[in-house]
Amino acid sequence: PSNTGRVLSIQSHTVQGYVGNKSAVFPLQLLGYDVDPINSVQFSNHTGYPTFKGQVLNGQELLDLIEGLEANNLLYYTHLLTGYIGSDSFLNSVLEVVDKLRSINPNLTYVCDPVMGDEGKLYVPEDLVSVYREKVVPVASMLTPNQFEAELLTKLRIGSETDGLKACNILHAAGPSKVVITSINIEGNLLLIGSHLKDKKQPPEQFKIAIPKIPAYFTGTGDLMTALLLGWSNKFPDNLDKAAELAVSSLQALLQRTLNDYTSAGFDSKSSSLEIRLIQSQDDIREPKLTFKAHKY
Ligand code: ATP
Ligand code: PLP
Ligand code: MG
Ligand code: NA
Ligand code: MG
């Protein structure tokens, strides 16, 4: 069927817990996609814990896997999904993968979460910022930065809703026809801003979704959000607002469940970051109840 697809997902793997591929693969499968994960790292647990151990895949090792697939004619994908990338050489190999996949399927949709940092803090080497800005953004079909990442990519300081919309326009001009700024902090609450440039001669269709901030810190939510946006925006290609409503509704139901489960187990949910209840939320992923509404500008 045309509303699903085959996704190559290049992201982190953690043995325990849900970030990167561990939080993206299962929901995409639930939405009906074939997902082929390449694990850019294999860590014991996410890096927010006191320690972690594991292996990092380098750029050449990524290209080796691609070569193996290509040698067997297995490189036809409808979507490429990338998240956290830790080095310049790996990011440059990802750019080669984009070219290679597009040479096989010119209609490949590249969904890029340009993970660089959050809340004013960079957590990738600084030289990646210009590679994202100059080489990755121009080839992305859909981009899902947070507020800080949108600022780095546009060199625009985002202090308001209007700034967020402006940032989307700048990003459209650089490449992607779909942009979702997954969270802007406005007076303690979260605002998602979406923008779809359908026709280069017309202004983009833009919308926002207000999300009350839950007083807890979760990991893996950015990766899950981008996966859900890929899943739903492909099913509703002309309604990015609807796709975002579905993605936000699923994610918020999952976060509420996560918070409730920790609280009823007697955990202080503010003391450390919470592992999301992904498996337990499969009904909310498959058939989300629309509890969040997008407002068009
Ligand atoms: P990136 O993956 O680029 O870092 P991000 O910073 O937006 O993106 P998160 O901060 O994990 O990623 O947020 C992703 C989504 O998760 C947000 O759009 C929001 O819907 C939801 N979310 C995360 N934390 C909370 C929270 N405490 N309360 C409510 N929603 C949250
Ligand atoms: N990937 C790895 C290896 C991580 O350690 C983390 C967070 O600690 C993430 C990804 C972050 O995921 P997110 O931005 O979705 O919370
Ligand atoms: Mg964030
Ligand atoms: Na994001
Ligand atoms: Mg993140």
| Residue to mutate (ligand 2; options 9, 10, 14, 47; most atoms within 8 A of CB) | 47
**For residue 1, what pLDDT band results from cuts at 50, 70 and 90?**
very low
Which atom belonging to ligand 1 lies closest to the Cα atom of 192?
18
> Which residues have a beta carbon within 5 Å of ligand 5, which is an ion?
222
Nearest Cα residue to atom 31 of ligand 1: 213
In angstroms, what is the span from residue 83 Cα to ligand 4's centroid? 9
Tens digits of per-residue pLDDT, 242-290?
999 999 999 999 999 999 999 898 888 777 788 999 999 999 999 999 9
Is it the case that residue 161 has pLDDT exceeding 90? yes
> Within 6 Å (CB) of ligand 1, which residues are found?
113, 115, 118, 145-146, 149, 182-183, 190, 192, 211, 213-214, 216, 218, 221-222, 225, 248, 251, 255
When the pLDDT of each residue in the chain is averaged and rounded to a whole number, the result is 96
SS (H, E, C) the chain: CCCCCEEEEEEEEECCCCCCHHHHHHHHHHCCCEEEEEEEEEECCCCCCCCCCEEECCHHHHHHHHHHHHHCCCCCCCEEEECCCCCHHHHHHHHHHHHHHHHHCCCCEEEECCCCEECCEECCCCHHHHHHHHHHHHHCCEECCCHHHHHHHHCCCCCCHHHHHHHHHHHHHHCCCEEEEEEEEECCEEEEEEEECCCCCCCCEEEEEEECCCCCCEECHHHHHHHHHHHHHHHCCCCHHHHHHHHHHHHHHHHHHHHHHHHHCCCCCCCCCEECCCHHHHHHHHCCCCCCCCEEC
Nearest Cα residue to atom 18 of ligand 1: 182
In angstroms, what is the span from residue 201 Cα to ligand 3's centroid? 33
> Looking at per-residue confidence, does 126 or 266 come out higher?
126
Complex prediction ipTM: 0.94
Which atom belonging to ligand 2 lies closest to the Cα atom of 14?
3
Which atom belonging to ligand 2 lies closest to the Cα atom of 222?
15
**For residue 3, what pLDDT band results from cuts at 50, 70 and 90?**
confident
Tens digits of per-residue pLDDT, 171-224?
999 999 999 999 999 988 999 999 999 999 999 999 999 999 999 999 999 999
Q: Please give the positions annotated as active site.
A: 223
